[in-house]
Amino acid sequence: MNKPIFLIGFMGSGKTTVGKKLANCLHMNFIDLDQRIVERIGMSIPEYFTQYGERNFRELESQILKEQQDERAVISTGGGSPCFFDNMQWILENGISIYLYLTPKALHTRLQQSNIASRPALQGLRDEALLQFIEEKLDERAPFYKQAHIHIDQINTSLDTICQSIE
């Protein structure tokens, strides 16, 4: 494989967890785009959102995404990364993309159990309001995610199948 693999999907879809495992079984490097951004800005993503706003975050995210040149890497993107500017087009042209799909209900369960404070888009959302937000945002973002080369139902697909499908 001489192209990077981009994992895309909604917050809570398991991009980081699956990315690490995939990198391991394919003997590739693992890059977490959010982590790269945090290293660059020297603060957490919620802090950056508060101080500089989402627009500046999206510009920086796009710039750091397009700096990724490691052909031997599995890259876990942020949930919004493919949905701004020409990022999805760039992802399609520069690597193999995998969409980790989960239903809004499954995402809701996982996000309720996760650290909501680390995700600025979810601040203050719980229960029904969180589910409604997920349904609306997923509708908005699905046209980008669905352009991915490979679609994976993360809950029902074992990692071995994922590895085999792209080896």
Q: Output 54 or 70, the one with its CB closest to ligand S3P.
A: 54
Helix residue spans in the chain (DSSP H): 15-25, 33-41, 45-66, 87-94, 104-113, 127-145, 159-166
* Smallest distance, ligand S3P to C-beta of residue 101, A: 14
119 is in an annotated binding site: yes
34 is in an annotated binding site: yes
CA-wise closest residue to 8 among 71, 82, 63, 93: 82
Separation CA 25–CA 42 (nearest Å): 31
Q: Is residue 145 within 8 Å of 91, Cβ to Cβ?
A: no
19 is in an annotated binding site: no
* Smallest distance, ligand S3P to C-beta of residue 52, A: 13
Helix (H) or strand (E) holding 32: strand 29-32
Q: Output 28 or 33, the one with its CB closest to ligand S3P.
A: 33
Separation CA 58–CA 30 (nearest Å): 22
* Smallest distance, ligand S3P to C-beta of residue 130, A: 13
Q: Output 50 or 164, the one with its CB closest to ligand S3P.
A: 50
Q: Which residues bind ligand S3P (CB under 6 A)?
A: 11, 15, 34, 45, 78-80, 119-121
Closest residue to bound ligand S3P by CB: 78
**Is the dihedral angle over the CA atoms 112, 107, 33, 70 positive or is it negative?**
positive
Q: Output 45 or 130, the one with its CB closest to ligand S3P.
A: 45
Question: Which residues define the annotated binding site for substrate?
Answer: 34, 58, 79, 141
| Binding site per annotation, positions for ATP | 12-17, 119
